[in-house]
Amino acid sequence: MYKLNEHSIQRLSDNASIPIDEGNRDYQQFLQDVKVNTISIVEGEDVIAPDYVALRTGVDGYASTGDQLGMIAAGDGSHATHVAAVKTAFPKSNTGSTTVADVPDWVQAAADAVELQENP
């Protein structure tokens, strides 16, 4: 069984990270295995929806410390408004999720293109 990652293929039997590279024999074996056993032995990439903590602290979340100090020093309520806006945008109810994407078409196409090899 294999699982796709963003830049590699994970072989679940030993957690090996296999590069998507024609010169790598494990990648060639992956294609052979798919050809023989069908695409059902491959699981798609995890799609991670970040939780509220990640979102609030991410690029779309709270302003930098310096900017927030500036808001506080201004004393015009802008800091409280900013914090409230971020909390509203990313509520605590958002605990994140992980779903599995479909296996992309290139896997089947690459497996179809490879010739079955016997042990040399």
Partner 1 sequence: MAGISKVTGGGIADGTLSVADIADDAITADKLANSINTDIATGVTGNTTAGNALPKAGGAMTGAITSNNTISDVDGNVRSGRKNLLINGDFQVSQRGDWSSLTNINTTTTLFVDRWKGHSSAVSSSVQHKTGYPYANDKYIRVEATSSGSGYIRAYQMHDGNLNGKAAIFSAMVKSNSSNARLITHVGNTWTSNDTTAKHTGGGAWEKLTFAYTGGDRDVPLSVIGITGATHGALSISSGDYIEVANVQLELGSVATDFEHRSYGEELALCQRYYQPLCSGNHREYIYNVHRFNRTYSTPMRAVPTFIISHTGSATPTGVDLFNGATTDGSVNSWVIAVSTTSIGLAGGSNSMVDIVITATADAEL
Q: Give the Cα separation of 101 and 45 in Å (integer).
A: 5
The single residue among 17, 37, 38, 81 that binds partner 1, judged by CB under 8 A, is 17
Task: Take residue 119 and report the two structure tokens written for it.
Answer: 């042990």
CB of 78 to partner 1, least distance (A): 24
Cα–Cα distance measured from residue 27 to residue 13, given in angstroms and rounded to the nearest whole number: 15
The answer to the question of residue 51 lying near partner 1 (CB under 8 A) is yes
Cβ closer to partner 1: 58 or 104?
58
CB of 98 to partner 1, least distance (A): 9
Binding interface with partner 1 (CB under 8 A): 3, 5-8, 10-11, 14-19, 21, 23-27, 48, 50-51, 53-54, 56-58, 96, 119-120
